[in-house]
């Protein structure tokens, strides 16, 4: 594996991002939704992890004032457990901070313990539960908050965003 590049998602990345989305989720976002996020939603920011021109992961967020809400994150199965999700989140945090963001929130499936460990290592803490949030399984969503993006970025100063997003 070569060195991964982390950068802003562009329209040509959506097809590969959608393939990853479909491989990761039982109810994937549509191509149209991803296009709308990247092209038309001024509150949205999306980043990709790229390996020699191949998109291997992506993540997105919405930002309103000083709060960012991570909307989705997906990494291709053969690239998991390599720190890519962590770096994608750190890239989103850098972007949020550059736009005045102080805090970040997300929802995670109640039984997705692997993802919860990643989020915990990045300073996210349980703040509530959305009952039966996931319509495909009826599973609850845990609401997680990171109350200091700045502290997380300082603690992970070796993060590898390839550009100022």
Among 62, 58, 48, residue whose Cα is nearest residue 23: 58
Strands 103-109 and 141-146: antiparallel
Active-site residue identified among 6, 18, 79, 119 = 119
Instruction: Tell me whether residue 107 is one of the annotated catalytic residues.
Output: yes
Instruction: Tell me whether residue 134 is one of the annotated catalytic residues.
Output: no
Task: Report yes or no: 125 and 148 within 8 Å, Cβ to Cβ.
Answer: no
Task: Report yes or no: 154 and 146 within 8 Å, Cβ to Cβ.
Answer: no
Distances (CA, A) of 29 to 64, 70, 72, 97: 21, 14, 9, 26
Active-site residue identified among 19, 37, 107, 134 = 107
Active site residues: 107, 119
């Amino acid at each position: 594996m070569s060195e991964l590049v982390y950068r802003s998602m562009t329209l040509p990345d959506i097809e590969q991002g959608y393939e990853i989305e479909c491989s990761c989720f039982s109810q994937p976002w549509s191509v149209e939704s991803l296009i709308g996020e990247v092209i038309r939603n001024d509150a949205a920011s999306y980043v990709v992890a790229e390996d020699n021109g191949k998109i291997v992961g992506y993540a997105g967020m919405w930002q309103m004032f000083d709060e960012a809400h991570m909307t989705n994150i997906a990494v291709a199965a053969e690239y998991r457990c390599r720190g890519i999700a962590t770096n994608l989140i750190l890239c989103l945090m850098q972007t949020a901070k550059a736009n005045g963001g102080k805090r970040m929130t997300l929802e995670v499936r109640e039984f997705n313990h692997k993802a919860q460990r990643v989020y915990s290592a990045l300073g996210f803490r349980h703040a509530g539960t959305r009952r039966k949030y996931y319509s495909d399984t009826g599973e609850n969503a845990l609401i997680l908050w990171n109350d200091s993006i700045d502290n997380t970025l300082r603690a992970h100063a070796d993060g590898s965003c390839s550009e100022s997003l």
